[in-house]
């Protein structure tokens, strides 16, 4: 176990002005708090926070971060409280430790929900101070190094979580060295046989290629020295998990891989990077299509290097990375390499956002937390962004947008701004009109065409690749559906008030919210629209003195048949009837209107039909023609009946559903003749079913889409007049 003075010495080795008293105080406090606690290995528990602190000293982090690492489990696993930590160590360290404390005693429905909620809380803490992330990753790294002491079932879950979340998160923060170790430790746990196989192959290859690697390093160094460039060339070996992932992705064997070894050239200055790449390209032939300049266009995790592949010594294919020493530090340590965390400087999120695109990405991701997603959805969206490679595209004004590979103009639109994505209706890529689902390529210039009032189709959610786009589409869809239900509820409630002889207003409704157990007027209206609350209950809540009477209509009592009698029998009749019959009916404009409307699944309904609406909980209004046999099933549910009327513009091009049954001669060409006639009439066939077939005649049920009743009647007349149809009629449903 690391001694007290050893911890101080490790920090003072890179920070001579370290607060020795603070470090000593944290050491003693944590040791006493953890007391006799043991780890799964049998070691004192206190060894774990010390090892986490040691990992962070290798990153040369500030005193507050080291102290937070020493204390990070005290609130969760001992009797310590945040208040006590703040009193002894100050608010900054208390905030860091609290951000690292898992949520306890939550009544969560699943382990996945718990994982998602803990991850959500972690990112919220990171938004306040990114040092929380550095301690958490170091904590996970030490837990992975000692994972073999943990029971197997728990071991697998921890390794999967590390591979799913923490390793990619480290990569997104540019901490490639830590990411590689986390991935390899997880890989070793989850696929021990595959890990052992690759390690054995690598050992054999290492032994065979030791001389070749030294030769390439020497030749590169000599070439640079001869041109006056001070450079360090070093071979590097691909990590086992990275090798395995490439073998799986490309379905190739270990022997078929040509990039197991690569070489890094580290130089003093930015100018030397480009001079060095020129020397390499003059010395050895390049492999076409393998040059990438991540200095002029850095990756989103702040990674900067020039990549190239050449045919080097011994006709070997050699991958090269050229970078400065500062770039090398950021490539390995990522966000931890930024000067904001050196020499005891306090955290400054605004300064870090200016300095680090990786942190800007993280902040954008965290912004999604405030936009209504569940923890599970947030975790899903974050994983989407963690795993993708990138393409770089430009707006017409030259703004660079980094997106996951496979992204579309829809993803691009949402990356620019959520409102742009929600209003997107088209795109131009490099000046040419292109589908919104086109896959974007590096260097594309994308112009998004928008339209006011546009709502993104729900189907887009499964077609985009960025978490931000998916979250925004899901949210917009929910908002649109909620708005439809609220508008339907408003119309139902307004008519209920008018029938009761009362005046409806939002102010009156707001005053009654406590009696309705809802937070807002929209909540009440949406509940009415969804069929979860009855309009009469709203009237009663606003006017407690009001009494409604349920009466049986006289015509129904006398045996009136048809919808009129049925509707009156099912009515709730208020004492004061409306003077205007239109006030008692809800206007129906079709599926594209502002209400949640659908039509009878058997028979549909078309403008010109006398119609009735049935309120279906969670689905809105289902429209039936008055002759529909299906209406009888709602006889005992009077509260679900709604008066509705058509409100269709004369020039509307919308089509409406109807169903017909055709008895036709069973001979070749009959179906074609029927379909041609329907098509020529301007109607659309949605579905066809053959319900009966005899040697002479077959019955065909056809789902049509027509403009109105007149249009449908004309089609029926034309079908009856053909010599292949013996009978045709509309299905009543």
pLDDT digits (tens, 9 = 90+) for 671-680: 899 999 999 9
Residue 354 lies inside a defined structural domain of this protein: no
Beta bridge partners of 266: 232, 323
Calpha distance 73→277 (Å, rounded): 48
Instruction: Read off the pLDDT of residues 265-318 as tens digits, 9 standing for 90 and up.
Output: 999 999 999 999 999 999 899 988 889 999 988 887 788 999 999 987 777 788
- Among positive and negative, which fits the CA dihedral 616, 621, 623, 626? positive
Torsion sign across C-alpha atoms 371, 376, 378, 381: negative
Q: Which of 20, 43, 77, 376 is catalytic?
A: 77
Name the helix (H) or strand (E) containing 632: none
Predicted pLDDT of residue 163? 87
Low-confidence ranges of the chain (pLDDT < 70): 102-128, 338-390, 547-585, 589-594, 733
Asked if residue 641 and residue 667 are part of one domain, the reply reads no
Residues 22 and 128 in one domain: yes
Is 76 a known active-site residue?
yes
Q: What angle do CA 75, 81, 86 make, to 5 degrees?
A: 110
Expressed as residue numbers, the domain containing 131 is 4-193
**pLDDT value of position 372:** 47
d(CA 130, CA 348): 9
**The CATH number of the domain where 102 resides is what?**
1.10.3210.10
CATH number at residue 306: 3.30.460.10
CA 52 – CA 69 distance, rounded (Å): 6
For residue 418, give the H/E element and its range: helix 418-423
Q: Say yes or no: 186 and 237 in one domain.
A: no
For the chain, how many structural domains are there in total? Answer: 4
Classify residue 468: in a domain, yes or no: no
Question: Considering only CA atoms, which of 79, 123, 63 is closest in space to residue 99?
Answer: 123
Q: Does 635 reside within a domain? A: yes
**pLDDT value of residue 570:** 36
- Which among 491, 635, 476 has a CA at the least distance from the CA of 567? 635
| Annotated active-site residue in 76, 164, 355, 560 | 76
Determine whether 649 is an active site residue.
no
Domain end residue (candidates: 274, 305, 337): 337
Instruction: Tell me the C-alpha distance between 209 and 134, whole Å.
Output: 36
187 and 245 part of one domain: no
Name the strand (E) or helix (H) holding 171.
helix 167-172
pLDDT at 527: 84
Give the whole-angstrom CA distance, residue 72 versus residue 50: 10
Give the model's pLDDT for residue 375: 59
- In this predicted structure, what is the pLDDT of residue 29? 94
Q: Identify whether residues 143 and 102 lie together within a single domain.
A: yes
Per-residue pLDDT tens digits for 376-410: 666 665 655 555 566 778 888 878 787 887 899 99
CA angle 389/390/392 to nearest 5° reads: 170
């Amino acid at each position: 176990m690391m001694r007290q003075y050893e911890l101080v010495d490790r920090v003072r080795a890179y920070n001579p002005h370290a607060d020795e008293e603070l470090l000593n105080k944290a050491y003693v406090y944590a040791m006493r708090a953890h007391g006799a606690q043991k780890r799964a290995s049998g070691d004192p528990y206190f060894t774990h926070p010390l090892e986490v602190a040691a990992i962070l000293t290798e990153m040369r982090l500030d005193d507050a971060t080291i102290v937070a690492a020493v204390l990070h489990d005290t609130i969760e696993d001992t009797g310590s409280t945040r208040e006590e930590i703040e009193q002894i160590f100050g608010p900054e360290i208390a905030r860091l430790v609290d951000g690292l404390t898992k949520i306890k005693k939550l009544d969560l429905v699943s382990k996945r929900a718990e994982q998602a909620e803990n991850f959500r809380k972690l990112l919220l803490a990171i938004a306040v101070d990114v040092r929380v992330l550095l301690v958490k990753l170091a904590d996970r790294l030490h837990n992975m190094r000692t994972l073999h002491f943990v029971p197997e079932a728990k071991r697998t879950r921890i390794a999967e979580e590390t591979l799913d979340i923490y390793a990619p998160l480290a990569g997104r923060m540019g901490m490639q060295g830590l990411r590689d170790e986390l991935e390899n430790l997880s890989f070793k746990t989850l696929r021990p046989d595959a890990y052992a196989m690759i390690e054995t192959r690598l050992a054999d290859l290492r032994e065979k290629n030791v001389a070749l690697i030294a030769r390439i390093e020497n030749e590169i160094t000599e070439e640079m020295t001869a041109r006056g460039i001070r450079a360090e060339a070093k071979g590097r070996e691909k990590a086992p998990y990275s090798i395995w992932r490439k073998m799986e992705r490309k379905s190739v064997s270990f022997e078929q891989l040509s990039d197991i070894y690569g070489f890094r050239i580290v130089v003093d200055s930015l100018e030397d990077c480009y001079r060095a790449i020129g020397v390499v390209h003059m010395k050895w032939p390049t492999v076409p299509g393998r040059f990438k300049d991540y200095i002029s266009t850095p990756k989103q995790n702040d990674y900067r290097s020039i990549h190239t592949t050449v045919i080097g010594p011994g006709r070997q294919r050699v991958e090269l990375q050229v970078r400065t020493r500062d770039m090398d530090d950021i490539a390995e340590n990522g966000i931890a390499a930024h000067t904001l965390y050196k020499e005891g400087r306090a955290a400054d999120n605004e300064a870090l956002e200016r300095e680090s695109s990786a942190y800007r990405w993280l902040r954008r991701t965290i912004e999604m937390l405030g936009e209504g997603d569940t923890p599970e959805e947030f975790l899903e969206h974050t994983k989407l962004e963690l795993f993708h490679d990138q393409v770089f595209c430009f707006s017409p004004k030259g703004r660079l947008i980094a997106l996951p590979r496979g992204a579309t103009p829809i993803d691009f639109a949402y990356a620019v701004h959520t409102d742009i994505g929600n209003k997107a209706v088209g795109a131009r890529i490099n000046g040419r009109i292109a589908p919104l689902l086109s896959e974007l390529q590096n260097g594309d210039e994308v112009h998004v065409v928008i339209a006011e009032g546009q709502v993104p189709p729900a189907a887009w959610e499964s077609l985009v690749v960025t978490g931000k786009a998916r979250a925004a589409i899901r949210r917009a869809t929910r908002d649109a559906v909620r708005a439809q239900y609220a508008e339907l509820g408003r119309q139902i409630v307004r008519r209920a008030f008018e029938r009761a002889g009362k005046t409806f207003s939002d102010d009156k409704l707001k005053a009654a919210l406590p009696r309705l157990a809802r937070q807002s007027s929209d909540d009440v209206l949406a509940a009415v629209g969804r069929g979860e609350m009855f309009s009469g209950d709203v009237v009663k809540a606003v006017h407690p003195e009001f009494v409604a009477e349920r009466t049986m209509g006289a015509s129904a009592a006398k045996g009136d048949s048809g919808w009129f009698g049925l509707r009156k029998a099912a009515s709730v009749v208020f004492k004061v009837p409306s003077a205007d019959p239109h006030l008692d009916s809800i206007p129906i404009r079709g599926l594209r209107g502002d209400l949640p409307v659908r039509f009878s699944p058997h028979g549909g309904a078309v403008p010109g039909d006398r119609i009735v609406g049935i309120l279906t909980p969670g689905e809105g209004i289902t429209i039936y023609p008055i002759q529909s046999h299906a209406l009888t099933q709602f006889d005992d549910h009077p509260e679900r009946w709604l008066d509705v009327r058509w409100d269709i513009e004369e020039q509307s091009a919308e089509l409406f559903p109807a169903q017909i049954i055709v008895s036709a001669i069973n001979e070749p060409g009959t179906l074609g003749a029927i379909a041609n006639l329907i098509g020529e009439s301007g109607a659309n066939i949605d579905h066809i079913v053959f319900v009966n077939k005899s040697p002479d005649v077959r019955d065909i049920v056809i789902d049509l889409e027509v403009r109105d009743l007149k249009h449908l009647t004309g089609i029926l007349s034309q079908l009856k007049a053909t010599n292949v149809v013996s009978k045709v009629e509309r299905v009543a449903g």
